[in-house]
Amino acid sequence: MKSGAGRIIKGAAAFTLLEVLLAVTILGMAYLAIMQNFSMSMRNIDRVARNAERTAAGRDELERHFMVGNIREDVDGEVFVEGNKYVVVRVADEESGKLVTLCLKEL
């Protein structure tokens, strides 16, 4: 390197063009990896949000059916809801009478 008076200082360190290009390449690859992870995270967030909306809509529809409920007597168990193509039946434990599950039976 040259000092202010035009003298060359021995032992002064500097980066070569190859070292600079290598550093820029490595930083670019790191930036690319970070951006891909960010993009993938955004897609996953969107997918989870869509699934949550569908789940909530299905739950709301099921709750709406439970509120309306037409009862049939010819199915084993206690009928909660009767739809056009199905019947929701409450299956309880015989000894305790506690709810075990709900069963969806086709008509």
pLDDT at 75: 47
Give the predicted TM-score (pTM) of the model.
Answer: 0.42
pLDDT, average across residues 96-105: 72
Greatest mean pLDDT among 47-51, 55-59, 73-77 lies in: 47-51
Which range among 13-22, 49-58, 76-85 shows the weakest confidence by mean pLDDT?
A: 76-85
Sheet holding 99-106, edge to edge: 78-82, 86-92, 99-106
Q: Partners of 34 in the beta sheet?
A: none
Phi, psi of 72 (to 5 degrees): -120, 150
Give the helix/strand (H/E) hosting 79.
strand 78-82
Apex 67 CA angle, 66 and 70, nearest 5: 70
